[in-house]
Amino acid sequence: MDVVEVIRECGGIAQRREVLASVGRGDLERAVAAGLVVRPSWGRYALPTDVEGQQAAREMCGVAILVTAAAHWQWRRKWEPRKTQVAVRRGRRVPPAARERFDIRWRSVPAGDVVDGWVTGRVRTVVDCAILLPFDEALAIADSALRSGTVTREELADRAGGLPAQVRSREASTCSRRYASTTRRVSSGASISPTSGFDWSSPGSS
C-alpha cells in the first residue's frame, strides 16, 4: 500500500502517525515532495483535493462545493469525487471542455455562504452534502465536521428548521427529507467513522 492509498482509506486526510503505521517516513516525504499529498496543518496529511478545488473554482469563477469543499475544511470523506465539484450561477453557459474536466453544478450560492471567494462555508457545505449526496457519504462528512468542533449540532438544527419554508417542488421535498434524516442522525449524537463499515474499493457516485 502506498501513501496515497493509506490517506484515501483514512478519508482523504490523516494524522502523521496513521500514515506511518503503514508506510515508511521516506515514502511519506517523497509523496509530499512529488505533490501527491499535501500537509494542510502540522502533523496532518491530505490528498490534494483542496488545491485542485481552489484552482477549479477560480478558473470557473465559481464556488467549490460538496466533497471538494469538505476537503478544504479538512473533514474526512467516504471517498474522493471523480471530478472537482464546482457550482456556477444558474443559466451560465459552460464550454463542453470544462464540463469534461469538472463536475459542474448550476446552483445559486449566496455570498454569505461563500468563504474566501471560492468555497462554501462549513455549515453550508454540510447542508449541501446532506441534500445532494447519498446518505452514507453525507453522514461521514457531517460526522467528521462535528468531530472537528468547527460545526455544531445547533447550527445544523437551525438550518434544518429553516429548510421547510424553502421547499417548493417534489424534488425539493425529497431533498429536504434526506437532509432531515442526516441531521437527525448527527443531532442525536450518533456518529460514524469514515473508515468503518464502508466498501472503499468502489468509486463514489459524486
Q: 109-156, pLDDT tens digit by residue?
A: 999 999 999 999 999 999 899 888 998 899 899 999 999 999 998 888
CA gap 52, 176 in Å, rounded: 30
- 3-state SS, residue 113: helix
- Calculate Rg over the CA atoms of the chain: 17
CA gap 46, 7 in Å, rounded: 7
Domains in the chain: boundaries: 3-46, 49-187
pLDDT tens digit sequence for 60-109: 999 999 999 999 999 999 988 889 999 999 999 999 999 999 999 999 89
Q: Which of 76, 63, 66, 184 has the alpha carbon at shortest distance from 125?
A: 66
Which pTM was predicted?
0.73
CA gap 106, 90 in Å, rounded: 5
